[in-house]
Amino acid sequence: MGGSSETGYAAKHTPSAASQAALNTDKLEEVRKLFTAHLENKGLRKTGERYSILEEIYARSGHFDVDELYAGMKERGLQVSRATVYNTLDLLVEQGLVSKHQFGRNLAQYEKSYGYRQHDHVICTECHKVVEFCDPRIHGIQTMVGELLNFHILHHSLNLYGICGDCRAQAAARSSATPA
Pick 109 or 3 by higher pLDDT: 109
Arithmetic mean of pLDDT, 68-87: 93
Detail the residues annotated as belonging to a binding site. Answer: 120, 124, 127, 156, 164, 167
Ranking 74-83, 104-113, 130-139 by mean pLDDT, the lowest is: 104-113
Indicate whether 155 pLDDT > 90: no
**The pLDDT value given to residue 147:** 96
Mean pLDDT, range 61-81, rounded to an integer: 91
Residue 17 has pLDDT above 70, yes or no: no
| CA dist., res. 93 & res. 66, Å (int) | 13
pLDDT of the residue at 126: 92
Q: Detail the residues annotated as belonging to a binding site for Zn(2+).
A: 124, 127, 164, 167
The pTM of this model reads 0.66
Among 73-77, 117-121, 172-176, where is mean pLDDT lowest? 117-121
Residues sharing a CB contact under 8 Å with residue 63, sequence separation 6 or more, in sequence order: 101, 109, 110, 111, 130
Task: Count Cβ atoms within 10 A of the Cβ of residue 20 and give its class: 0-12 exposed, 13-18 middle, 19 or more buried.
Answer: exposed
Residue 151 is classified by DSSP as -
pLDDT the model gives residue 21: 53
Q: Which residues contact 14 (CB under 8 A, 6 or more apart)?
A: none
Q: In the prediction, which pLDDT does 37 show? A: 95
- Percent of the chain residues topping a pLDDT of 90: 51
Is the per-residue pLDDT at 114 higher than 90? no
Q: In this structure, what are the phi and psi dihedrals at residue 132, rounded to the nearest 5 degrees? A: -90, 145
pLDDT at residue 73 tops 80: yes
**Same fold: 16-116 with 118-180:** no
Mean pLDDT of 22-45: 88
pLDDT tier at 133 (50, 70, 90 boundaries)? confident
Domain residue ranges of the chain, discontinuous segments joined by +: 16-116, 118-180
Task: Give me the architecture of the 16-116 domain, per CATH.
Answer: Orthogonal Bundle (1.10)
Q: Please check the confidence at residue 131 and state whether its pLDDT lies above 90.
A: no
Yes or no: is domain 118-180 CATH 3.30.420.40?
no
Name the binding residues for Fe cation: 120, 156
